[in-house]
Amino acid sequence: MFSDRTDAGERLADAVAKAEPAHPVVLALPRGGVPVALPVARALDAPLDLLLVRKIGMPGQPELAAGALVEGDPPEAVYNAEILRLSGLSEDDFAKQVAEKTEEIAERRRLWLEDRAPVPLEGRTAVVVDDGIATGATVRAALSGLRARGPGSVWLAVPVAPADTLRALRPLADRVICLSTPADFQAVGLHYRRFGQVSDAEVAELMRQDDSEE
Specify the DSSP element, H or E, that contains 126.
Answer: strand 125-129
Which among 71, 54, 53, 41 is positioned nearest to 213, based on CA atoms?
41
Per-residue DSSP letter, 121: -
Peptide bond preceding 31: is omega within 30 degrees of 0, i.e. cis?
Answer: yes
* Banded pLDDT at 212 (limits 50, 70, 90): low
**What was the pLDDT predicted at 47?**
96
Question: What are the tens digits of pLDDT across the range 95-128?
Answer: 999 999 999 999 999 999 987 888 999 999 999 9
- Decide: 107 and 54 in contact? Cβ < 8 Å: no
What's the mean pLDDT when you consider all of the chain? Answer: 93
* Banded pLDDT at 63 (limits 50, 70, 90): confident
**What was the pLDDT predicted at 90?**
94
Per-residue DSSP letter, 168: H
Q: How far apart are CA 89 and CA 70, in angstroms?
A: 20
E-strand ranges in 29-60 read: 48-50, 53-58
Question: What are the tens digits of pLDDT across the range 143-196?
Answer: 999 998 999 999 999 999 999 999 999 999 999 999 999 988 989 999 999 999
**What was the pLDDT predicted at 116?**
86
Which among 4, 2, 28 is positioned nearest to 138, based on CA atoms?
28
Burial of 24 (0-12, 13-18, 19+ CB in 10 A): buried
Which strands make up the sheet holding 61-70, listed edge to edge? 53-58, 61-70, 76-79
The whole-model pTM stands at 0.91
Report the residue count for the chain: 214
- Measured at the CA of 57, the angle between CA 53 and CA 63, to 5 degrees, comes to 100
Asked whether the predicted pLDDT for residue 133 surpasses 90, the reply is yes
* Banded pLDDT at 214 (limits 50, 70, 90): low
